[in-house]
Structure 1
Amino acid sequence: MVMLDADPAGYVYRVLDGPLPEPSRGGLIRLVGVFEKVLPAISDEYASKYYTQARDLAALATEIEAMRDE
Structure 2
Amino acid sequence: MDFDGVNLVLLDADVAGLVQRELNGGLDDRSVALLWGCIADLDKIAPLINEEYCASYFTNLRTTAQVAASPYLPRAI
State the TM-score bracket (shorter-chain normalisation). 0.7 to 0.9
Residue 72 of structure 2 corresponds to residue 66 of structure 1: yes
Judging by fraction of residues, say which structure has more strand. Answer: 2
**Structure 2 gap ranges (5+):** 1-7
Equivalence for 1:11: 18
Deviation, 1:38, is 0.6
**Structure 1 consecutive aligned stretches of length 4 or more whose deviation exceeds 6 Å:** none
Please provide the CA RMSD for this pair: 1.4
> Which residue in 1 is equivalent to 2:45?
38
More helix by share: 1
Q: Give 1:37 deviation, angstroms.
A: 0.5
TM-score by length of 2: 0.79
C-alpha displacement of 1:4:
2.1
Shift of 1:66: 2.5
Deviations 1:13-37 (A, max 9, x none): 0000112110111011111011000
Compare relative contact order (CA 8 Å, sep 6+) and give the higher one, 1 or 2.
1
1:4 touches 1:51 (CA, 8 Å); kept in 2?
no
What percentage of residue pairs aligned between the two structures are identical?
36
